[in-house]
Amino acid sequence: MTHDDLKFADDRPILLKKYDLLDRAGFAQRLALAITSWKNQESLVISLTGGWGSGKSSIKNMTLEQLEATQSCQVIEFNPWQWASQEKLSSAFFEEISRVVQRQDSGDKDKKLAKLLRHYGRYLNTGAGVLSTTAKWTPVLLGSALVTTALASVADGEAAKVTIWLLSAASWLGTIAPWVKKLAGAMTNHSKSLGQQAKDNELTLGEIRAELQKLLSARTKPLLIVLDDLDRLSAEQMKAMFQLIKAHMDFANVVFLLLFQRDTVEQGLNKVGFNGADYLDKIIQAPLSVPAIANSQLQAVLSSRLDAILTDEPQLQERFDKEYWEQMFERGMRPFFRNLRHVYRYTSTLAFHSRLLRGTEVAEVNAVDLFALECLRVFAPETYAELPRYKALLTDSEPFARKDQPQQARVNHVIDQLVNLAPSPHQSAIRQLLQEMFPTLDWALTNTNYDQTEKLRWLARSRVCCDQVFDRYFELSIPLEDIPNSLLHELGRRITDPVEFTALLISHEEERQAEILQRLLGLVDEFPLDQSLAVVQTLLRAGDHVGRRMSFTNWSPRLQITRLLRLFLERHELERTRSELVIEAFAAMPGLVVMDQLLGAEAALRRNGDVGYLDDAGFEQLKTLYVEALQQVAKRDPDVFLSDENHASYLIDLNRYSVGGDGGRRWVESHVTTQARFLLFARGQVNFRTSHSGGRSTRTDYISSTALEQMMGLARCAEWLDQLDVGVMNNCELETYRLVEDALARHARGEAESWSD
């Protein structure tokens, strides 16, 4: 299969032993030898039984290949199921035989035989209107045996026996009268016609059968009649076929090879009044079963086909997790593959769906999860179809769901429902597959919990258990609002280039930036350690350019950048190494936003007595470098500094980290010297709180009087308000004015701050 030539696998039986993948050619060879060795005055009935897709027809084809190679048997293949519903079967069959005879030799004898065959076929078809469906194809089987006998006679130069052959066939047809349905009326006239023909040729019925037995006994090669797909017949058709075989088991040098699934045929015969098992035992002298398939052989075929899919889909191959695959296959998938047909059905559609989700540079799904879900879709389609209905539960993303006993019982109940939708032989494997694919349920199924780092890895690997990627497995496409893996891959590739990484990231809207960075958290392990300095510089730079808005469902892009940096630093074991790395990167590229977040998180850890990311000396040195960088920026252009939407945090840091603990307030006193700068300063102090009522969310902006007091003093703020001309303000400035006014009023009333600053 080439990259641009998608083909479904052909699960039809093989025709030649050179295509044998399961080492059954030897079995077929021995079966052929047994058939050619039969020389007896009675027929031999051999059955080859096995389940659907077990390889019965493939063994038959290899057996016939061996017989053809040795020229030791004359073969007539007849599939009654293919003809069971066709009209004028006799006429069509003999027309075809006559054409074959005439093509082989254009001599006068064979021309005459071909003519008689066509005439005989049309003659037999005159009673078709009163014969049942089974009766239509009964004479075909008998006729095919007799045609072979007649051809052997002609080959021996006994042309006179053609006439006897026709009379023998007519009499033989008469022997099946007792079990042909509704034959009585039509058979009366038909038997008179056949009787008249016998009379005309001065042969009795006994003489015809004796001549037929003589012809068969004289043959040097047995006549093999192959009947395939008997298990596809209706119960009545099964009855007719097996009665036909039973009625003619006394002919010499005739071997019947019957192929069917035994339990299906037994059930069919039971429906029409027989004891199916006993009846088959009376007819079949040599019952054979299809050899069992070694698990190693079947797995080798499956592995070969999966390797071919991965070869054609390098995106899937690139991130293929062999350890996860072995675990998934051994615990959940192996039981589904019991024969080659299962393998072919599965790999055909898997190749098709892999093409849909391969992505551009990297796969958009996890290959192992895709393989497992395809197993569900092929072998347990009802279970597969129900999975999207339970997306939130399976991905552990139900809003406000608690991990308590009622929820645990609900999870187990849903899993039981999904399992019970599958065919009973597969239910145990289905349960295991679901547990492997959805570790998000382990808290309820096995009392196992996973930390946030592990969940980020699932997301980075596009596991189906993550609600962000679940839909693509079932929609078989990438939703427009989703984050494609190709974008994440490109960002990962640019992580050592601060300019290119930042440019690609900020080309997306602020809310989408946060989602992208959330997904990147799981790829931190792939950032190159040998280029750690460049990685840290990239993250420092990006932090100064991404958005700061936080949503209800995600951190702000700035916070996500800092989380990326902290996770990357954790890959370096020593705190000293981390400190040196950040110090060197910050000296070359002073990213103020990320350093604000990093130092704030480090200080909080230390206040709580936890171990930080940095060593003590490094932490102190970074604080000094950060304060110096802030002071330089703030002094260089106070207006630009105040226009930075993050300047309020910087002023707090100047208070927190500078000598004396008031560096921010001193800068405000020195530089907030105009009405415009006061409004910019006040705007930086704006915060907001959100309230929920009646299913609606309301945002309320406010300014903390405590923050104003710390940075400027409330009295000085009041003086600025008195100086401002409200009439010349724009809407933003007017809103800021009113928020400062409200903060001063609340303080004057003695109202406590009811929110966190």
Highest-confidence segment of 152-156, 228-232, 504-508: 504-508
pLDDT reading at 583 higher than 90:
yes
The answer to whether 655 touches 712, Cβ cutoff 8 Å, is: no
pLDDT of residue 67: 79
Mean pLDDT score of the chain: 78
What letter represents residue 652's amino acid?
I
Highest-confidence segment of 320-324, 340-344, 752-756: 320-324
pLDDT of residue 145: 41
pLDDT of residue 24: 62
Question: pLDDT per residue over 528-569, tens digit each?
Answer: 999 999 999 999 999 999 987 765 556 789 999 999 999 999
pLDDT of residue 168: 41
716: enclosing H helix or E strand: helix 714-723
The answer to whether 388 touches 468, Cβ cutoff 8 Å, is: no
**C-alpha radius of gyration, the chain, whole number:** 43
Neighbours of 178 (CB within 10 A): 8
Cα Dmax for the chain: 139
pLDDT of residue 519: 86
Task: Summarize the confidence of residues 621-641 as an average pLDDT.
Answer: 94
Question: pLDDT per residue over 426-457, tens digit each?
Answer: 999 999 999 999 999 999 999 999 988 899 88
pLDDT reading at 272 higher than 70:
yes
pLDDT of residue 263: 85
Taking each helix axis from N to C terminus, what angle separates 557-570 and 510-520, rounded to the nearest 10 degrees? Answer: 20
The answer to whether 588 touches 536, Cβ cutoff 8 Å, is: no
Residue 657 to residue 280: CA distance in whole angstroms = 95
Taking the CA atoms of residue 732, residue 734, residue 736 and residue 739 in that order, the dihedral angle to the nearest 10 degrees is -140
Question: pLDDT per residue over 244-258, tens digit each?
Answer: 777 666 767 778 888
pLDDT of residue 754: 58
The answer to whether 90 touches 141, Cβ cutoff 8 Å, is: no
> Phi, psi (5° rounding) for residue 573?
-65, -40
The answer to whether 308 touches 346, Cβ cutoff 8 Å, is: no
Please give the CATH number for the structural domain made up of 24-31+42-73+221-292: 3.40.50.300
- Whole-angstrom CA distances from 107 to 17, 161, 162, 522, 715 are 36, 17, 15, 81, 127
Task: Summarize the confidence of residues 404-412 as an average pLDDT.
Answer: 94
- Whole-angstrom CA distances from 743 to 264, 422, 618, 664, 665 are 86, 64, 39, 20, 19
What letter represents residue 135's amino acid?
A
pLDDT of residue 517: 92
Q: Residue 127 carries which DSSP code?
A: G
What letter represents residue 717's amino acid?
C
What token pair was written down for 439?
């570790």
Residue 318 to residue 321: CA distance in whole angstroms = 9
What does the domain layout of the chain look like in residue ranges?
A: 24-31+42-73+221-292, 80-220, 295-475, 483-571, 589-671, 672-757
Pick the closest to residue 283 from 45, 452, 449 (CA basis): 45
pLDDT reading at 3 higher than 70:
no
The answer to whether 84 touches 137, Cβ cutoff 8 Å, is: yes
Q: Look at 743 and 358; give whichever has higher pLDDT.
A: 743
The answer to whether 249 touches 43, Cβ cutoff 8 Å, is: yes
Confidence of residue 264 (pLDDT cuts 50, 70, 90): confident
Q: Residue 231 carries which DSSP code?
A: G
Helices (H), 219-318: 235-247, 262-271, 276-283, 295-312, 314-318
Handedness of CA 52, 55, 61, 67 (dihedral sign): negative
What token pair was written down for 358?
């391969």
State what percent of residues in the chain have pLDDT above 90: 39
pLDDT of residue 676: 93
What letter represents residue 272's amino acid?
V
Task: Summarize the confidence of residues 491-499 as an average pLDDT.
Answer: 94
Cα first-last separation, the chain: 63
pLDDT reading at 486 higher than 70:
yes
pLDDT of residue 82: 58
The answer to whether 422 touches 380, Cβ cutoff 8 Å, is: yes
The answer to whether 543 touches 593, Cβ cutoff 8 Å, is: yes
pTM: 0.59
Pick the closest to residue 176 from 220, 136, 228 (CA basis): 136
pLDDT of residue 481: 67
3-state secondary structure 454-510: HHHHHHHCCCCCCCCCHHHHHHCCCCCCCCCHHHHHHHHHCCCCHHHHHHHHHCCCH
Q: Of the ranges 183-187, 233-237, 432-436, 444-448, which one carries the lowest mean pLDDT score?
A: 183-187
